[in-house]
């Protein structure tokens, strides 16, 4: 029995060393070197990607493939659904791989076609996570405990239309559901089943806030609803990115609805706005749209809260109306840096609320170590 404990202890000692990435095995050196060469080649291609420029639909799709290949240890790409024009909407699932279901942070970008800074931010956000998860303690913990589901470009049809025909297009590109109306497109952010068509939306198919013939009439919306609905119990926070206005919006758009955790939502949003301001001095206002912007209904943020996701925010990025939707590319970096600070505040809070802070985790681990040591000591004696 003494010998068994000894061999067990040997295994315990050696196990973490075996897991370390610094271990090299004889006989696979050549294979490793060839992998490194390919890795570096792909890294050069992804390294060439300019995050301070606006990118077209196909460039974003190519970038998603590159990211998935380059960071295959932590990234997988999946189909979310289809657009009206039959484009495949993809999302990235980012985090340490695990056999069991993990908690989720959801982020979608580009739901409104003309808000170009939005998909630019999703790309920036992914880049920041992936370039830092090995060295940044916080991100490393996030990757262990959670998966980030990122949809870099939801309204692909509309976004493509802003590159080819009309820079200020907002809606989807589905044709009108009514025969006597020749306009195209439904406002995807009025099409969710959240007090749908009650206020701040229009049944005129030519309106920019046309909410569709019924809730979830748009395939892009259905795609989000299907996946988010399936994993809603695992989603800690739902983030949807827009521009412009410099706002952090929380539920609800409807003036008669207040979220049960309204105060906590507001305080967290204000903390995020403070983090944003610290970065480059940019002021963001925080609150429900029914108070700080305009009453509305059918938004993805409100729908997410309705189905039970505890925290749900819309970010309206820069600016305040100087350039509006046509934000100069030289503002991509500062806008993304400050938005990152805001998002990070929220992600860290919801993570720590669920998993405990790093300090608490460390204390828990040391306690486990001590307890194991003491019990082994007792056994060995």
Residue closer to another protein by CB (options 170, 257) is 170
* Catalytic residue, candidates 115, 128, 316, 348: 316
Which residue, 80 or 194, has its beta carbon nearer to another protein?
194
Of 38 and 164, the one with the shorter C-beta distance to another protein is 164
* Nearer of residues 93 and 102 to another protein, judged by Cβ: 102
User: Which among 225, 193, 267, 191 has a CA at the least distance from the CA of 108?
Assistant: 225
The distance of closest approach from Cβ of residue 104 to another protein in the complex, given in angstroms and rounded to an integer, is 19
CB 375 → another protein: shortest distance, Å? Answer: 11
- 60/92 with CB nearer another protein: 60
Q: Are 129 and 148 in contact (CB under 8 A)?
A: yes
Measure the CA–CA gap between 124 and 181, rounded to whole angstroms. 39
Considering the complex, what minimum distance in angstroms separates the CB of residue 239 from another protein? Answer: 17
Residue 300: HSE in the Cβ half-sphere, 13 Å Cα cutoff? 31
Q: What are the phi and psi torsion angles at 126 (to 5°)?
A: -65, -45
Give catalytic status of residue 316 as yes or no: yes
The answer to whether 103 touches 146, Cβ cutoff 8 Å, is: yes
Least spacing, CB of residue 138 vs another protein, in Å: 9
* Rounded alpha-carbon distances, angstroms, from residue 305 to 55, 139, 226, 235, 347: 31, 25, 15, 11, 16
CB-based burial label for 292 (10 Å; 0-12, 13-18, 19+): middle
As measured in angstroms, the least distance from the Cβ of 293 to another protein is 6
- Could you give the CA distance from residue 287 to residue 272 in angstroms, rounded to a whole number? 12
- CA 90 distance to own-chain centroid: 13
Active centre residues (catalytic): 316
């Amino acid at each position: 029995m003494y010998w068994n404990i000894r061999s067990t202890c040997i295994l315990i000692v050696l196990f973490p060393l075996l897991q370390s990435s610094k271990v090299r095995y004889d006989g696979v050196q050549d294979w490793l070197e060839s992998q490194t060469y390919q890795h570096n080649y792909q890294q050069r291609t992804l390294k060439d990607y300019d995050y301070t420029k606006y990118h077209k639909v196909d460039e974003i799709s190519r970038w998603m493939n590159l990211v998935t290949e380059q960071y295959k240890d932590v990234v997988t790409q999946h189909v979310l659904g289809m657009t009206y024009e039959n484009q495949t909407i993809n999302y990235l699932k980012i985090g340490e791989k695990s056999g069991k279901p993990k908690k989720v942070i959801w982020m979608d970008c580009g739901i409104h076609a003309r808000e170009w800074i939005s998909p630019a931010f999703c790309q920036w956000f992914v880049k920041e996570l992936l370039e830092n998860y090995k060295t940044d303690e916080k991100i490393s913990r996030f990757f262990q405990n959670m998966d980030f589901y990122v949809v870099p470009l939801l309204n692909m049809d509309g976004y493509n239309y802003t590159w080819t025909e009309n820079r200020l297009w907002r809606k989807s590109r589905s044709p009108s559901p009514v025969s006597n109306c020749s306009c195209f497109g439904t406002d995807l952010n009025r099409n969710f089943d959240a007090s749908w068509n009650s206020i701040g939306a229009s049944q005129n198919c030519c309106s920019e806030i046309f909410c569709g013939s019924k809730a979830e009439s748009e395939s892009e919306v259905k795609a989000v609803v299907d996946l988010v609905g399936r994993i809603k119990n695992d989603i800690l926070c739902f983030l949807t990115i827009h521009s412009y206005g410099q706002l952090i919006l929380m539920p609800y758009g409807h003036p008669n609805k207040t979220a049960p955790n309204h105060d906590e939502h507001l305080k967290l949003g204000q903390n995020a706005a403070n983090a944003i301001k610290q970065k480059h001095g940019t002021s963001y206002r925080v609150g429900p749209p029914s108070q700080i912007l305009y009453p509305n209904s059918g938004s993805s943020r409100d729908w997410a809260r309705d189905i039970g996701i505890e925290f749900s925010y819309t970010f309206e990025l820069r600016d305040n109306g100087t350039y509006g939707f046509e934000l100069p590319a030289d503002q991509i970096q500062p806008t993304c840096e400050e938005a990152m600070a805001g998002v990070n505040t929220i992600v860290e809070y919801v993570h720590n609320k669920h998993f405990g802070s790093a300090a608490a985790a460390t204390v828990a681990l040391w306690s486990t170590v001590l307890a194991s040591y003491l019990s082994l000591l007792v056994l060995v004696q």
